[in-house]
Amino acid sequence: MRINRVLILGIDALEYDLVEKWDLRNLKQEEYGKTELPLLPNQEPATVIIWPCFITGKIPKEMGFSTIHVFPQPIQRVVEVAYPRVRKYLIDYNAKDITEKKKGKQSYLDKFANWLNKIGLTHPPSKSDIISDTLFDTIPNSIHFHVPVYDNDAFPAYRKKVVDAIENPAHRPILEIQCLQEFKQRTKEVFEWLERKDEWDLFMQYFFVLDAVQHVFYNNPKKIAKFYIMFDEFVGKVRERIDDDTLLLIVSDHGQKKGIHTNYGFYSVNKPLGLKNPKLIDFRWIIEELIGR
């Protein structure tokens, strides 16, 4: 199998069971399945941790951090040990949906983290916190847009909007419009770079849309299905425009059910790789081998 370039569509919260339920053929491609995530005990998949692990091919500790707030050393080491235990106490892992979960003690953890951030004791993860090299470092002709942490994506701003929309129904139509705008803009970027395919060997585009929609409209399957179908149709158009020597990898950092992250991810490829429940961190090495780096 000859592969000259790889196109990665990173779709946050793409849920395997919903792709199956609605039989979304374009998202499935020739090979698809669940992925094993690099998680610590009692750790919920977090966007700012899982995506850096994906592009580095490393577990959180080797990638650089395993918490959604980064502390200066040696405090970070203490926090990484204590954080899973604190979350186990504060988070209701048996919650049936996102609303029930947020009625627990999560808000106390968020407020405490925000206070630590204000006094300068911690900060959201940034590219400088990633201590390992990445796919984009080892493959010279790489183009990437909005990859969380690595590209300083606006994920933290979205998180606040999502929380506001969950708690206040009046904010939900606004969030939906913003998600539609993001989808339109980021799909446009993909199509523009497909026309410039000779300028890259690796291209990655990240989408936050499905995560936001499923958190906010967790009890509205028709609304969620609308966005899944949009992505399926988009992937169908992408597949029509790529060459036979391009590997199209669709990958998620986790799934989502009733607004709560699931502890597995999704992947699909347009060429059979013979994978079975692969580790998410394996894809860096698979891609480098396929295109000879």
Q: How confident is the model at residue 23 (pLDDT cuts 50, 70, 90)?
A: very high
CA distance 44 to 37: 10
Judged against a pLDDT cut of 70, whether residue 40 lies above it is answered with yes
Q: Rounded to whole angstroms, what are the CA distances from 290 to 6, 32, 172, 271, 286?
A: 9, 18, 43, 12, 6
Q: Where are the domains of the chain?
A: 5-290
Judged against a pLDDT cut of 70, whether residue 109 lies above it is answered with no
Q: Is 92 exposed, middle or buried (0-12, 13-18, 19+ CB in 10 A)?
A: middle
pLDDT of residue 66: 85
- The residue among 130 and 104 whose pLDDT is bigger is 130
Judged against a pLDDT cut of 80, whether residue 181 lies above it is answered with yes
Judged against a pLDDT cut of 80, whether residue 155 lies above it is answered with no
pLDDT of residue 110: 65
116-135: average pLDDT: 84
Q: What's the CATH architecture for 5-290?
A: 3-Layer(aba) Sandwich (3.40)
Q: How confident is the model at residue 85 (pLDDT cuts 50, 70, 90)?
A: low
Judged against a pLDDT cut of 60, whether residue 106 lies above it is answered with no
Q: How confident is the model at residue 291 (pLDDT cuts 50, 70, 90)?
A: confident
CA distance 214 to 175: 12
Write the pLDDT tens digit of every residue in 208-220: 999 999 999 999 9
- Which two three-digit tokens encode residue 131? 């201590």
pLDDT of residue 160: 81
pLDDT of residue 75: 63
pLDDT of residue 157: 73
CA distance 17 to 125: 30
**Least confident range of 66-70, 79-83, 154-158:** 79-83
pLDDT of residue 152: 77
